[in-house]
Amino acid sequence: MTDEQNSFDTLEERLNARKTEYETMPVPDSAAYQAVQSGIRQAARKRKSRLRWYMSSISAAALILLFTGCIRVSPAFASFVEQLPGMEGIVSMIRQDKGLMMAIDQSLLQKVGVTDEHDGTSLTVEGIITDESRMVIFYTMKGMKDPEKFNYDIDLLDENGKDLPVAFTHAYPTPSPDENVNENMIDVIFTDGTSPPEELSVVFKARDTTHAEKWKITFPVDKNLTKGMKKVIPVNQTLTVDGQRIDVKQATMYPTRLVLDVNFDPKNTKKVFGLSDLQLVDEQGRAWRTDTSTGEDERSIYFESMYFSIPKKLTLQGSGFSGLDKDELDLTLDLKSHRITGGPPGLKMVGSKVEGKDLIIDFSVAGRMDGGFVLTFRKVTDSTGKSYEVPGSSWSSGEGTDDSHTIVSSTIGNGAKLKGEVKMNISTYPMKIKSPFSLEIPVNP
């Protein structure tokens, strides 16, 4: 056995050991969802234009490190791990994404290795991989206070010190064999013509204002690694799913993801929050997953990239969608009596409480949150017409001992003094419509 093969086998043993460790790690569903919401709230603060995220259950699973199958190691992959010592946990996370792994196999990872350290704590950006559509930032935290609570805000700044107009998500940090070190990644989406900056600063700020700790890492971005690597496939076909018209415009392939641009007909009777069990299947039966989408009626849906393994045949498949009749999106809520007028059937208010300047309203929703969509609101308006933002929601299964319902807690920012009736507009809801569909996507050889 060669020394090279011996090192690969040793690496596989290490990775599979980490795999077993994470599979047995208890991760509450509510914690995973709140982690996703934390990233979404970060995105909302970064963008002045309206950007709405829709997260599927697949992406949540990836974020909490649920993975299956054997870990096989290519020479480029082994090189990647050796460049980032101690990052096996992050490697296990990105094994969920075939496109990222193939990009790494093509040596598109930019090693950074820059650290900001003070008072016994440090943040290190280990490396990034980026193209015109996406950037993934790998980092480690050492000696941070309560990393499992992730009491930090993240800023991404360009070479001029300005906030990048991007959306991004992150999970809770991943423990490493060294209990003092945590690993994670930031997944960034470039939209509306934005692109990677010439220079990037990653800033972590502690939410504990009494200490106001901050870590800042600045480094150049090598955009030449993926320059010109973009392939556009015209589609221009229409799907009709349960009477709702969906125009599929085009697919754009990048090294890190495939972007499918669709348009939901404004004349549709239902508001479609997202397509269920969506995947692209090639001629070999391989499924390329989707994790997120952005936009409203005009929407971009993001899939794993097949840039370095372009199929001969590609089929878009799904089981239906999550959505509501458009006349059920608006409701009026009496905060005193808990009475709801309008909205979807079965929605109930079960209580509320004040936390600081915010009002938290608890709703009971029929069913379980197993489809990637929960009850969220776009905005709340009081009797004077003043609007309030809804920065996030969390949920837990069961209403008392009733497992057929879910309790969703929605935070109304600066809404502590709200009284009487308020008007609320639903942005997502866990109402599934079963209506399987498929569509052939033309692929140029």
pLDDT (tens digit per residue) in 36-75: 433 333 343 333 322 323 233 323 323 322 222 333 445 5
Sheet with 152-157: strands ordered across: 152-157, 199-206, 214-220
Residue 23 has pLDDT above 70, yes or no: no
Length of the chain as a residue count: 445
Share of the chain above pLDDT 90, in %: 49
Spatial CA neighbour of 241 closest among 371, 430, 435: 435
Domain limits, the chain: 3-226, 232-323+433-441, 327-430
Q: DSSP letter string over 7-75? A: HHHHHHHHHHHHHHHHHTS---HHHHHHHHHHHHHHHHHH-SS---EEE-HHHHHHHTT---S-----H
Mean pLDDT calculated for residue range 408-423: 94
Residue range 159-188: mean pLDDT, rounded: 81
The DSSP element (H or E) to which 100 belongs, if any, is helix 98-105
pLDDT score of 127 more than 80: yes
**Rounded CA separation 260/168 (Å):** 19
Distances in whole angstroms, Cα of residue 155 to Cα of each of 11, 168, 192, 216, 266: 34, 10, 19, 9, 35
Q: Do domains 3-226 and 232-323+433-441 have the same CATH topology?
A: yes
Q: What are phi and psi for residue 69, nearest 5 degrees?
A: 85, 170
Tell me which amino acid residue 43 is: A
pTM: 0.76
Q: What percent of the chain has pLDDT over 70?
A: 71
Confidence bin at 178 (pLDDT 50/70/90): low
Using alpha carbons, list the distances in angstroms from residue 78 to 105, 192, 406: 9, 35, 44
At 102 the pLDDT is 86
Region of poorest pLDDT, from 62-71, 330-339, 342-351: 62-71
Q: Which structure tokens are listed for 23?
A: 């599979």
Residue type, 334: D
pLDDT at 30 over 90: no
Average pLDDT over residues 383-396: 88
pLDDT at 413 over 60: yes
Amino acid at 231: K
The pLDDT value recorded for residue 252 is 94
Concatenating the DSSP letter of every residue in 118-133 gives ETTEEEEEEEEEE-SS
Residue 362 has pLDDT above 70, yes or no: yes
**For residue 218, pLDDT beyond 50:** yes
Q: What phi and psi values does residue 18 have, to the nearest 5 degrees? A: -65, -35
pLDDT of 170 strictly over 60: yes
Give burial (CB, 10 Å; 0-12/13-18/19+) of 367.
middle
Which pLDDT band holds residue 99 (cuts at 50, 70, 90)? confident
23 versus 184: the higher-pLDDT residue is 184
Residue with the bigger pLDDT between 173 and 358: it is: 358
Q: Which pLDDT score, from 0 to 100, does residue 202 have?
A: 96
> Considering only CA atoms, which of 366, 368, 318, 323 is closest in space to residue 345?
366
Residue 146: other Cβ atoms inside 10 A: 10
In whole angstroms, what is the distance from residue 239 CA to residue 145 CA? 50
- What is the rounded average pLDDT of the residues 26-45? 37
* Average pLDDT over every residue of 220-236: 94
The answer, yes or no, to whether residue 5 has pLDDT greater than 60, is no
49-66 burial, b for 16+ CB within 10 Å, e for fewer?
A: eebbbbbbbbbbbbbbbb
pLDDT reported for residue 293: 78
| The token pair that represents 26 in the structure block | 């208890």
pLDDT the model gives residue 330? 97
3-state class (DSSP) for residue 270: strand
What's the whole-number mean pLDDT along residues 16-38?
Answer: 40
pLDDT greater at residue 247 or residue 61: 247
Give tens-digit pLDDT for 265-313. 999 999 999 899 999 999 999 999 886 777 788 999 999 999 998 898 9
Q: What is the mean pLDDT of the chain?
A: 79
According to DSSP, residue 163 is labeled: B
The pLDDT of residue 58: 29
- Does 401 score more than 70 pLDDT? no
Q: What tokens were used for 28? A: 């509450």
pLDDT band at residue 82 using 50, 70 and 90 as cut-offs: low
Task: Retrieve residue 109's tokens.
Answer: 């990872």
Mean pLDDT within 333-345: 96
The mean pLDDT value for 80-88 works out to: 56
Q: What pLDDT, on the 0 to 100 scale, is given for residue 175?
A: 61
CA 363 to chain centre: 24
Could you say which architecture CATH assigns to the domain 3-226? Sandwich (2.60)
pLDDT at residue 120 in the model: 86
Residue 21 has pLDDT above 70, yes or no: no
pLDDT surpasses 90 at 435? yes
Asked if the model's pLDDT at residue 338 lies above 60, the reply is yes
Find residue 253's DSSP bridge partners: 231, 258
Q: Which residues fall within 8 angstroms of residue 239, CB to CB, at 6 or more apart? A: 245, 246, 247, 248, 437, 439
Fold category of 232-323+433-441 in CATH = Immunoglobulin-like (2.60.40)
Residue 299 confidence (pLDDT): 92
Kindly state the average pLDDT of the residues 328-339: 96
